[in-house]
Structures are given as C-alpha cells and as structure tokens.
Amino acid sequence: MKGETADRILSSARQLMTERGYSAFSYADIADAIGITKASIHFHYATKAALAVAVLRAHRQGLVQSMETLDTNFPNPAQRLQTYVKYWEGCIRDRSISFCVAALLAAELPSLPDKVQAEVRLHFQDLAAWIQRTMVAGAQHGSIRLESSIESEAQLFMATVHGAMLSARVSGNCEVFQLATDAALKRITP
C-alpha cells in the first residue's frame, strides 16, 4: 500500500503498537490520532492483522536497510554492533521510539494471529543472522571476541539489547539501557 493516508495509518499503528502492544490498540485509536474514519483504515488495511503485518514488514525492511548501511559504512564489525546499540540508545533517550515493535509483539506471540507471528519470527531471524555475520566478521577482524558458539553469542547479544529496552521502559531511565548494552559490548570486544 502506497500513499499518504496509508503511510499515516502505518506510522500511527506502529506508534500505538510500540506504546501499547497489539491487543491494546484499535482502528478507532488510529482514526482519532490521524483524523480519518475507521472505514478509511479498512479500505487500506482490511484487518488489524493485515495492518500489523504491514507495520512489521516495513520495520523489517528498515532493519535490513540499516544493516546494509552499517555493513557498508563501518569496516570494523565491532563498530557496527556499537552503532546499532547507539541507535536504540538515541531513540530511547529522545523518546522517538521507545522499543522495537517486533520485540514488543514477541511478548504477545501466543495470542497474535498466525500471519503476525510469522512476521515477528522473520524479524528475529533477520536480526540474529546479521548479528551472527557481524560477529563472525569481527572474530576474523580481531575486533570481536567469542566465548561460546556464534549462535549463543548472537542470541545473548540480541536478548541483552531487547532486555535492556524493557528495563529502560520500566525504569523510565535510558541509563539502564546504556549500562546493560555497554556491558554486553565490553564482553565481546578485546
């Protein structure tokens, strides 16, 4: 779906899902937020699940583009991971995006429609694969130290970043995110 209205709907839905989760927002919330009718939302996204899938696909496309940019702009793999973490730190600090929408929806996974669950899983698969590739490149480059299997290291790093988001949200303090992620980065860098 292309177009200004569809983009505004997606943006509002992403913000609402990030703030409240899948179950706690409705088309009425989006309609109120952007000043359109619920029927207009249904015209663009027939179901809430279709809207959530579109939000997650757009989020994942942005993630893939960002990973490609990091790979291109930072020859040092450790700097790629540091920059990824600093991106989220900045988002949390300035309150532009307080949480990864896919990570938030992962907490609701059992109650999500199958299509939405599949998109959440794809996000985590893409992110884990990039972290693994980055860590392998970093081990070869000498900028990353691996203490266990690449799969374990990547999952631990990803879980730390997402857990730090959760802790920062609960505490209302970005420094909590920074402390946890700094420790995760120090653990893997020589």
The residue range of the domain holding 85 is 57-188
Using the predicted structure, report yes or no on whether residue 151 has a pLDDT greater than 60. Answer: yes
Using the predicted structure, report yes or no on whether residue 1 has a pLDDT greater than 70. Answer: no
pLDDT one-digit tens code per residue, 131-145 = 999 999 999 999 999
Q: For residue 133, give the H/E element and its range.
A: helix 114-141
Using the predicted structure, report yes or no on whether residue 147 has a pLDDT greater than 90. Answer: yes
**Interior angle at CA 74, CA 69 and CA 75, nearest 5:** 125
Domain count, the chain: 1
Residue 28 resides in a domain: no
Q: For residue 165, give the H/E element and its range.
A: helix 150-171
Query: What local confidence, expressed as pLDDT, does residue 97 receive?
Result: 82
Q: For residue 119, give the H/E element and its range.
A: helix 114-141
pLDDT one-digit tens code per residue, 90-117 = 999 998 887 899 999 999 999 999 999 9
Residue 30 resides in a domain: no
Task: State the greatest distance between any 2 C-alpha atoms of the chain, in Å, as a whole number.
Answer: 56
Residue 32 resides in a domain: no
**Interior angle at CA 89, CA 86 and CA 91, nearest 5:** 110
pTM to 2 decimal places: 0.92
Task: Judge whether 172 and 149 are in contact, CB under 8 Å.
Answer: no
CATH assignment at residue 121: 1.10.357.10
Q: In 3D, which of 16, 29, 48 has the Cα closest to residue 113?
A: 48
Integer angstrom CA distances of residue 11 from 57, 130, 152: 12, 25, 34
Tokens of 115: 């299509």
- At position 166, the amino acid (one-letter code) is L
Residue 70 resides in a domain: yes
Residue 149 resides in a domain: yes
pLDDT one-digit tens code per residue, 112-134 = 999 999 999 999 999 999 999 99
Residue 43 resides in a domain: no
Confidence of residue 2 (pLDDT cuts 50, 70, 90): low
pLDDT one-digit tens code per residue, 24-77 = 999 999 999 999 999 999 999 999 999 999 999 999 999 999 999 999 999 999
Q: CA 102 to CA 132: how far, in whole Å?
A: 19
Confidence of residue 81 (pLDDT cuts 50, 70, 90): very high
Residue whose structure tokens are 């569809």: 6
Buried b / exposed e over 130-151, threshold 16 CB at 10 Å, is bbbbbbbbbbeeebbeeeeeee
